Amino acid sequence: MNRPVSYACDPAQRYCECGRCALPPAPNIDLDAVAKLNRATTATAMCLILIALVLSVFAVGLWRTEQVHKAIVAERNV
Ligand SMILES: [Zn+2]
């Protein structure tokens, strides 16, 4: 008994009245949303890690420059 006319089912729109239609897009969209969220979270984490790395390198560079500057000043004072 397959009477698709008696129900206004539209699997393409993930709409089903009979409750027997196979609606593959729904779980896929959920998975896509989760994947997008994971991707966004991963991208944000990678961005933060990169910023932290750049900042740490910059801070180390500044520290070394300061040490060199101190050494030069100490040398001049002596
Ligand atoms: Zn249906």
Task: Write down the pTM of the prediction.
Answer: 0.46
For the stretch 21-29, contacts whose Cβ atoms lie closer than 8 Å and that sit 24 or more positions apart, written own/partner, are none
pLDDT of residue 60: 97
Kindly give the distance from the C-alpha atom of residue 27 to the centroid of ligand 1, in angstroms, as a whole number.
16
> Hey, what amino acid is at 17?
E
3-state SS, residue 15: strand
For the chain, give the percent of residues with pLDDT over 90: 47
19-47 pLDDT, tens digit per residue, is 888 876 555 667 788 888 999 999 999 99
Kindly give the distance from the C-alpha atom of residue 17 to the centroid of ligand 1, in angstroms, as a whole number.
5
Pair 48, 39: CB distance under 8 Å:
no
Which DSSP letter does residue 10 get?
A: B
Within the chain, where are the H helices? 25-77
Kindly give the distance from the C-alpha atom of residue 6 to the centroid of ligand 1, in angstroms, as a whole number.
10
Asked whether the predicted pLDDT for residue 15 surpasses 70, the reply is: yes
Domain parsing of the chain, residue ranges: 4-77
Kindly give the distance from the C-alpha atom of residue 58 to the centroid of ligand 1, in angstroms, as a whole number.
61
